[in-house]
Amino acid sequence: MAEFEFTERDATLIAACLSAATAIVVARYMQARVEPEKLIADRAYKIYEATLRRFHRDVGNLDPLAVRQYLTSLRDTMKPISAHQHLRTLKTFCRWAVEAEVLAQDPTRGVSMKVPRILPRVPTDEAVRELLTACDESFEGRRNRALVSLLADSGLRISEALRLRIEDVRFGERTLVVRGGKGAKDGVGFFGAETAQVVRAWLGMRRDALPEDFLFTDRQGRPLSRDYGTHVLHRLSTRAGLPHKIGPHQLRHYAATSILKQTGDLELVRQVLRHESLAMALRYAHLAKPDVSRKFRRASPLDNLRAGK
């Protein structure tokens, strides 16, 4: 492959694309051009915009050497996972720039960054139990108990849970119609009998609610925002006296590891959490190791051979 040459024309076009006024437009457009089948949520657009704004402020061009120096500097100022997010965004932007014929070649091609594998923090059974106990019998208390139960049982993302309408909850089959999940994909969620009982108790506070109303609302019937939902969980964590605040994604991790410990079925975990591949579900196998050790003591081939089983 020929050496990449960064021309004055390239600099002018890229500077225009990266200007603060058009960053979000570029982010939306490049996503549609590069991965039209993977529409992304507003939160992802905000990440794109913030990343491109910072890059435009600190660098402003896509000279390959400048890109590498920028990424190296990020490692000194932020966590590796955050620096890797910047690299992914720039790579997506550059793919769009090549696709749109703004650039002849991708200056980030061949640039990689290793991210240390960090196991997620998973709440204990007792912590989740304390979180549920911290919910009183008021309007907000029953709502919060239903939210915690659904997140911990179904493994839904907080945005998916807060988009649910009452009609999306199928008590007969104990399933959920998940609309606009990750990648703008609809799907099916699942919940158990205990959660069904808690959600019914919450809906009992809303006798006048219609099927098309949001499942989780405030007293005025307004849907909860993602930030407010997270704040509710943090406040409950404090009220319960937990050493660490539990967030919505930690309850998703809890659901995954609990299902895995009970069944040992990674494919089931993948389907419940609606991951596209087993790679994501495999993270939870490391968290379930103590349970695997206990099961292996019962399944040891030579122990069973000696016992004549």
Q: Give the residue from 164, 175, 204, 184 showing the smallest Cα distance to 38.
A: 184
Mean pLDDT of 86-108: 78
> Using CA atoms, how far apart are residues 211 and 305, in angstroms rounded to an integer?
58
Question: What global pTM score does this model have?
Answer: 0.67
pLDDT at 25: 44
Q: State the CB neighbour count (10 A cutoff) for residue 76.
A: 7
Which residues contact residue 26 at a Cβ distance below 8 angstroms, ignoring those fewer than 6 apart? 17, 18, 52, 93, 96
> Using CA atoms, how far apart are residues 309 and 289, in angstroms rounded to an integer?
25
Q: Give the residue from 157, 153, 158 showing the smallest Cα distance to 128.
A: 153
Among the listed ranges 134-143, 175-184, 188-197, 237-246, which one has the minimum average pLDDT value? 175-184
Enumerate the domain spans of the chain: 8-99, 125-290
pLDDT at 179: 85
> Using CA atoms, how far apart are residues 258 and 255, in angstroms rounded to an integer?
5
Q: What are the residue numbers of the active site?
A: 157, 182, 249, 252, 275, 284
- pLDDT (tens digit, 9 = 90+) per residue, 150-198? 999 999 999 999 999 999 999 999 999 998 656 556 789 999 999 999 9
Q: Which fold has domain 125-290?
A: hpI Integrase; Chain A (1.10.443)
